[in-house]
Amino acid sequence: MKKNEFNKFLEYTESTIMLILTVIVIMLLVFSIIDVVILVIRDILDAPRFHMNVNNLQEMLGFVLLILIGVELLESIKTYFLEKKVHVEVVLIIAIIAIARKIIILDFKKYSALMILAMALIFLVLCLGYYVIKRARLEEHKTLE
């Protein structure tokens, strides 16, 4: 197999894999949204009506953030598919949302203070990294104008 043919084969394989991943993420998002809607309706209609307890609310917010992670992952796949590069901002946003989701659904009684502090530190570092990258991109755009 010649080098050019091999590169075409790799590009075709990569495109096929990205297409399959995109379809899988879309299917997961659709089923997750249906599941969240069913959970919300069931929780609202269960006795006492129109009253949600804190645990159910935390669980539903966790599901919503999980769907948001899926949407951001889909954006990352789309960007890679169209531009053949990964945007660090999108990856950081996915990580920030994932940590935020974990913190929201966290049962603080089950974890040590050190573990909670570590999660807070990871969250802070990810947010700081996102800020620095966004700031650098803004500065880069200003110098190009």
Query: Domain residue spans in the chain?
Result: 3-144
Q: Label each residue of 100-144 as H, E or C.
A: HHHHHCCCCCCCCHHHHHHHHHHHHHHHHHHHHHHHHHHHHHHHH
Percent of the chain with pLDDT over 90: 26
The whole-number pLDDT of residue 3 equals 79
Q: What is the pTM of this model?
A: 0.71
DSSP string, 6-48: HHHHHHHHHHHHHHHHHHHHHHHHHHHHHHHHHHHHHHHHSSS
The whole-number pLDDT of residue 23 equals 93
Handedness of CA 73, 89, 106, 40 (dihedral sign): negative
For range 126-136, the mean pLDDT? 93
The whole-number pLDDT of residue 1 equals 62
pLDDT digits (tens, 9 = 90+) for 40-57: 888 777 767 666 677 777
